[in-house]
Amino acid sequence: MHEIFQRLAEELNKAERVLLTTHVVPDGDAVGSTVALAHIVRHLGCETRMLMRTGLPADIALRNLPTPVLTRCAGLGDFVPDIAFFVDCGDERRAGPEMGFLARNKSLPPPEGAEADAKGGSADKKILIVNIDHHADNPGFGDINLVQHGRAATSELIGLFAEYLGLSLSGDLGEAVYLGLVTDTGNFTYANTSADSLALGARIFAAGLNVADFSRRCDNNWSLARMHLWGCLMRAVTLSADGSIACCAVPRSLMDESGLGNDDLEGFASWLRRIKGVRVGLFVREDGPDNCKISLRSMGDFNVRAVTAVFDGGGHISAAGATVRLPLQEATRVVIEEIQKRL
């Protein structure tokens, strides 16, 4: 790993402009990793931009972002990066069409509406693609790949890189790394929690993180409407396979009535594991008549990624997701069958 850190440090030394991106609908690890790396890159003297195709989630209340978050390449103006980092992104397509183009062509996509250029390219020079991730199914799409699926969070790798560079994990940088750690380990309770991730958390704590203040901003920030929606969802949970599968299927109409967005469902899938005896939690969200988003959770003793792979999805052993092109009830039934086959 130190050889890759050294190579990254050398490349960043040569670079002037650095673009950072992550997967769509970013979770705390995606945001934390991107923001932490942006702090690092700025510290090294590079100009930087962050791009998140679906924007920064409203409930992630990090302070002092190093740069604003863009959602489209048009927002870059004449900023042409020397390096583009993809963080916590198991597959370059997960970063959205523009960033997927960038990863494949090593150049920015042509402006929307412009004549598509087969070679693709807003610039002659090739942009160096760096892929930092912890998804086991990451194909290694970068010129430089730092992919370690034993890591609890991508931000763990970013934190170690900061320490390699001799940077302090205090303040905004440490907080961003910590956000990734607690998100992906469920506050250090999931099977992926490791001595390394706890030790890194402890070093951030020692560097001055105020965990109570952090929780107040990043966890204890619900609306009453969200609390009520979760109450409805909890009442709708059903068990199958002798109580080993807990399922909650959310019809679009419920979301429309609530006036809330999909952000407000974040984390519910993990909650399903709370029921005694449940090995797999299945959360199904109806996005359209033949279009459902599924999220699966386990405690690491059941590989949920094997189930989402059937539907061309991805993720980790204990947390994975996919899109199922079926109506809500049928999607739920089919996925439960796939889980049962593997129990």
Q: Which two tokens stand for residue 181?
A: 């750690």
Cβ-proximal residues to 149 (8 Å cutoff; 6+ apart), any chain: 134, 135, 136, 138, 316
Nearer of residues 88 and 286 to Mn ion, judged by Cβ: 88
Nearer of residues 190 and 302 to Mn ion, judged by Cβ: 190
* Number of residues engaging Mn ion in binding (CB under 5 A): 4
Q: Residue 33 burial (CB < 10 Å; 0-12/13-18/19+)? A: buried
Positions 154 through 173 that interact with Mn ion (CB under 5 A): 154
Q: Which two tokens stand for residue 327?
A: 């109506």
Nearer of residues 138 and 332 to Mn ion, judged by Cβ: 138
CB of 136 to Mn ion, least distance (A): 11
Q: Residue 267 burial (CB < 10 Å; 0-12/13-18/19+)? A: middle
Nearer of residues 88 and 98 to Mn ion, judged by Cβ: 88
Q: Which two tokens stand for residue 174?
A: 């440490």
> What does the alpha-carbon distance between residue 21 and residue 204 come to, in Å, rounded to a whole number?
24
| Interface characters, 177-196, with Mn ion (x: CB under 5 A) | -------x------------
266 binds Mn ion (CB under 5 A): no
> What does the alpha-carbon distance between residue 274 and residue 258 come to, in Å, rounded to a whole number?
24
Binding segment (CB under 5 A) for Mn ion, from list 8-16, 22-30, 143-151, 269-277? 22-30
88 binds Mn ion (CB under 5 A): yes
CB of 219 to Mn ion, least distance (A): 18
Nearer of residues 109 and 159 to Mn ion, judged by Cβ: 159
Nearer of residues 101 and 190 to Mn ion, judged by Cβ: 190
| Interface characters, 38-77, with Mn ion (x: CB under 5 A) | ----------------------------------------
> What does the alpha-carbon distance between residue 227 and residue 266 come to, in Å, rounded to a whole number?
12
First to last CA, the chain: 36
Angle between helices 154-164 and 2-14 (to 10 degrees): 70
Positions 92 through 121 that interact with Mn ion (CB under 5 A): none
> What does the alpha-carbon distance between residue 254 and residue 260 come to, in Å, rounded to a whole number?
9
Helical residues (DSSP H) of the chain, grouped into ranges: 2-14, 28-43, 97-105, 154-164, 171-185, 195-206, 211-218, 224-235, 252-258, 268-271, 304-310, 328-342
CB of 158 to Mn ion, least distance (A): 11
Out of 22, 29, 73, 107, the residue judged to bind Mn ion by CB under 5 A: 29
Binding segment (CB under 5 A) for Mn ion, from list 21-29, 101-109, 209-217, 223-231? 21-29
CB of 316 to Mn ion, least distance (A): 8
CB of 177 to Mn ion, least distance (A): 12
Cβ neighbours around 213 below 10 Å, total: 11
Nearer of residues 26 and 281 to Mn ion, judged by Cβ: 26
- Strand-pair category, 144-147 with 128-133: parallel
Binding segment (CB under 5 A) for Mn ion, from list 10-18, 84-92, 113-121, 188-196? 84-92
Closest residue to Mn ion, judged by C-beta, is 29
CB of 20 to Mn ion, least distance (A): 15
Positions 126 through 155 that interact with Mn ion (CB under 5 A): 154
CB of 243 to Mn ion, least distance (A): 29
Number of residues written out for the chain: 343
Residue 23 near residue 88 (C-beta atoms within 8 A) = yes
Q: Which residues sit at the interface with Mn ion, rule CB under 5 A?
A: 29, 88, 154, 184
